[in-house]
A and B are shown apart, each in its own frame.
Chain A
Amino acid sequence: MEFFKIKRDIPFMRYGRLTTTISLVTFILAVLALGFKGLNLGIDFTGGILMEVRYAQPADLEAIRKTLEEQQIAEAAVQNFGTSRDVLIRLPLQEDTGARQSDQIFSALKAQDGTAELKRVEFVGPQVGKEMYESGGLALMLVAAGIMAYLAMRFAWRFAVAAMIANMHDIVIILGMFAFFEWEFTLSVLAGVLAILGYSVNESVVVFDRVRENFRKMRKAAVTEVIDNAITATMSRTIITHSMTQLMVLAMFFFGGDALHNFALALTIGIVFGIYSSVLVACPVVLALGVSRADLLLPEKEGLVDNRP
């Protein structure tokens, strides 16, 4: 069985202007969403209390809200979570919010309905939340810098820059989607975003690798032809690999429970845009940066010994 028996190279680079325009538009939309709506940060980053309580029967949200009011807790968000028996209570940080408050709330809920069972509590202090936010941002930059350094060393600076632009494009779009749809952005989503950063570069590297190889093989071809051929040749691998990863991510999305839901969502967006950007953003950018055969042939003499048969 073989799906992709492509005889002639697809002229991807001819559509370069169109695809970069599409990218630019989505990118700008994502930035706007981020700017106007901002991320719906979870308590990992903002600090606060989150409690998940399970009841033996469908929970009476009104009664729970009333109990909380009696406890003089304002601004509590009470909602069903997953099933009608599971309730999620979210409290922002407020006066005298402390780790002890969760005990107080739970004993009040237990008094109101004896079947209440505490499934989990998360309390994050404001300081800790802020640090998470900062170290998350730092991690993002460090990952980007590390990858660029490696690519610049292994390929050429033009590839490093192009891969990074393509990558940032993916990251910004994931973040933009989270902002636009107001999905909750938690620590595990951040982990997903950072994983995508590595994953998406992975994708660009495979294409670049082919470009490098083609420069050596197709001595007479124009740069656009070289790139088109590289993309076409890796096409089937691209589709299959991503479908495999996506299968795994979908399994997480459907069977992983709520904890992995948004994580899988971030990965899904990342995978879809990862394919797009590695082919239709990274390559046109490399081309626009004026890549040439000379970029890749110099280092070959030293480090890269070709020991193929």
Chain B
Amino acid sequence: MRNRFPLWKNLMVAAVLILGIIYALPNFFGEDPSVQLSAVRAAKVDDSLKVQVQGLLDAVGLKAKALEMADKRMLIRFSDTDSQLKASDVLNEKLGEAYTVALNLAPSTPSWLRAFGAKPMYLGLDLRGGVHFLLQVDMDAAVKQAEDRYAEDARSLLRENKIRYQSVEKQNGVIQVRLPDSNTLSQAQVLLKRELRGLQIDVKDSENLLEGRLSEVERREIKRFAVAQNTTTLRNRVNELGVAEPVIQQQGEDRIVVQLPGVQDTARAKEILGATATLEFRLVDNEHPVPAEGEKAPLGSHLYRDRQNRPVLLERKIIVTGDQVVDAASGIDQQGGQPAVYVTLNSVGAKKMGDTTRENVGRAMAVVYIENKSETKEVNGQKVTTKKKVEEVINIATIRDRFSKRFQITGLDSTEEARNLALLLRAGALAAPVDIVEERTVGPSMGKENIDRGVKSNGYGFIAIAVFMILYYRAFGMFSILALGTNVLLLVAVLSLLQATLTLPGLAGIALTVGMAIDANVLINERIREELRVGSTPHAAIHAGYERAFATILDSNVTTFVAGVALFLLGAGPVRGFALVLCIGILTSMFSAVLVSRALVNFTYGRQRKLVKIAV
């Protein structure tokens, strides 16, 4: 009996090895310093832009390695960071209006490799620097806002249909509509049931009262919408920050992950992401006097304060809100020379604004700035997070004429503030406030260190194992080490192919899998020695060694695999990356220990019909 693989098995091993090399290779090419142009709103990324960029670069004598276009994005590669920075300045100056310019590190995988779809592993923030935020969407606030909206809708529906009502109030999440008699009660009931389908309406005949609660379906819908809307809004805001390759993803039911690679100015990032600022335009109530300290505001009005902390009485009814703004730009007001924000409304907002301003020429209109903050306080040893809503009148202006789609807001403190406000308005409003519940920032130098250390410890460990294995098992140690090397190669290839995020725990996972993967080889080699000891021929010993060790390898790896899968399912962030590497590593190590090393053994010894001695 000789140890030989059938042809198909040899071919399979060879094919897997070649694929492994192709997909692992991109990791060794490094990265090009590049500039990324992404289109803002209407701007287009097309060939004319390519020509324009080329022209701009030629004018300052910069030479780009390549210009590449992807959807809504153009990547301009350079050979050194110096020209990258210069180009970024030039492009920002000339094209900054219509495009966001961001610095990027693009993998410099050769095009023939890219044709296979081969890409380097995606490095996590802890390996390349950047910020990770976990944002929690405030669902209670979203539900409360929806209830307010329903109450307001109920009011205007009754008014429009000329049904007399005594009051519409909201108490503990219940919208109570009080009516004067049973006649109006049934009218209102029919109307509200038909128009406000999201409400579940109960009738209390004895008190002429209708009680509306949000239905379970509606509640779920509101929550789902709040997260979806917030994710979109955050994506817009991040795009305005000009970050290359950001990640914005929903996590779980009510959380959103935002990762900004390479971002250094975390303070500004937080301001833009965390701010739940929105604007509301309201008419100033000039029918009632401003209530004195401690007095309640009259019905239908609400008391606000302006920046100088002076009380201002505004109508409860909102004309338009920030989410009806389609565009906003900051600039300087030509008459007053003050910082201003130029606002463009969508058609619904424009109609409402137009109608209101036409009917109210001569009256004053206020812009209210609303920001949601949260604070954690300790009460009786319990941490309690309270939400605080800051509402501030930032501007009051007299309506001189009917507003159109476009108008301007003045009364801001600085151009910086005008710019931030314009950004917030432009990027859209958040459907519900968000809080940062987790932040992890890693500086770029630390990221580099982490990679170095991870690679170094993997390398030293591998060398130590190789030395020992070859000394101890000689030829078979050599086969084991080659199999182990294949294991690392395949692991890297699979991770690159999956585009899984490699983090520091992931690197630790590679190290640990390498350490554990050798177990399969040791089991096999020991078995072969044992068989030789009881007097088997070398060929029989090799055969038996591999066959018998296989059952053990399978059993012991399945248990580790079970652990890895559970870790993956339950772990968060770093633990998950570790688990993924562990699981893939087990699969690749079984392949390389059982098939690759066997193929090597067969190749070396299989041809000899009379095998007298093997080096193990």
Residues of A in contact with B (beta carbons under 8 Å apart): 1-2, 52, 54, 93-100, 102-103, 107, 117-128, 131-132, 135-136, 138-139, 142-143, 146-147, 150-151, 154, 187-188, 190-191, 194-195, 197-199, 201-203, 205-206, 209-210, 233-234, 236-237, 240-241, 243-252, 254-257, 259-260, 263, 267, 307-309
Q: Give 29 pairs: A residue, B residue, CB < 8 Å, sorted on A.
A: A93-B376, A95-B378, A98-B436, A100-B270, A121-B266, A121-B441, A128-B437, A132-B572, A146-B566, A150-B562, A151-B559, A187-B572, A188-B505, A191-B578, A198-B563, A199-B560, A206-B556, A244-B518, A245-B512, A247-B465, A248-B462, A248-B512, A248-B514, A251-B511, A255-B457, A257-B450, A257-B453, A259-B504, A263-B505
* Assembled-state Cα–Cα distance A249/B134 (Å): 31
Is B552 in contact with A147, judged by CB distance below 8 angstroms? Answer: no
Whether B454 sits at the interface, judged by CB under 8 Å, is: yes
Judging by beta carbons under 8 Å apart, are B508 and A209 in contact? no
Asked whether any CB of chain A lies closer than 8 Å to the CB of B544, the reply is yes
- Determine the chain A residues whose CB is within 8 A of the CB of B571 once the complex forms: 135, 139, 191
A103 to B267, CA, bound (A): 6
The answer to whether B457 touches A195, judged by C-beta atoms less than 8 angstroms apart, is no
Residues on the A chain within 8 Å of B573, using CB: 187
**Interfacial residues, chain B to chain A (CB-CB below 8 A):** 1, 126, 133-134, 136, 266-267, 270, 274, 374-378, 383, 435-443, 445-446, 449-450, 453-454, 456-458, 460-462, 464-465, 468-469, 471-472, 474, 504-505, 508, 511-512, 514-516, 518-519, 522-523, 526, 529-530, 540, 543-544, 547-548, 551-552, 555-567, 569-575, 578-579, 582
Query: Which of A52, A124, A195, A257 touches B512 (beta carbons < 8 Å)?
Result: A195
Which residues in B have their C-beta under 8 angstroms from that of A151?
559
Q: Are B267 and A119 in contact (CB under 8 A)?
A: no
Cα A197 to Cα B267 in complex, Å, equals 41
Name B519's contact: one of A52, A128, A147, A241 (CB within 8 Å). A241
Q: Which residues of chain A are within 8 angstroms of B458 by Cβ–Cβ distance?
A: 251
Given contacts A96-B375, A205-B552, contact A245 B450 (CB under 8 A): no
In the complex, A308→B566 CA distance in Å?
A: 33
**How close is B2's CB to chain A, nearest CB, in angstroms?**
13
When A and B form their complex, which 5 residue pairs have the shortest distance between CB atoms, in order from nearest? A198-B563, A248-B515, A251-B461, A125-B437, A245-B515
Q: Which residues of A contact B134 (CB under 8 A)?
A: 128
Known contacts A188-B508, A263-B508: does B438 contact A233 (CB below 8 Å)? no
Provide the main secondary structure of the chain A interface: helix
**Chain A residues whose C-beta falls within 8 Å of the C-beta of B267 in the assembled complex:** 100, 103, 107
> Which residues from chain B contact A245 at a C-beta distance below 8 Å?
512, 515-516, 518-519
User: Assuming A126-B383, A205-B556, A244-B519, is B514 touching A139 (CB within 8 A)?
Assistant: no
Contact status B512-A95, CB under 8 Å: no
Contact B551 A122 (CB under 8 A): no
- In the assembled complex, the CB of A290 is this many whole angstroms from the nearest CB of chain B, namely 22
Q: Let me know if B559 and A202 touch, CB within 8 A.
A: yes
Q: Is the CB of B572 within 8 A of A256?
A: no
Query: Among B378, B504, B529, which residue has its beta carbon within 8 angstroms of that of A260?
Result: B504
Q: Say how far A98's CB is from chain B's closest CB, in angstroms.
A: 7
Name 15 extra pairs, CB < 8 A, besides A102-B439, A195-B563, A309-B547: A98-B374, A99-B274, A100-B267, A120-B441, A120-B443, A188-B574, A191-B567, A198-B561, A198-B582, A201-B559, A245-B516, A245-B519, A251-B458, A257-B449, A308-B544
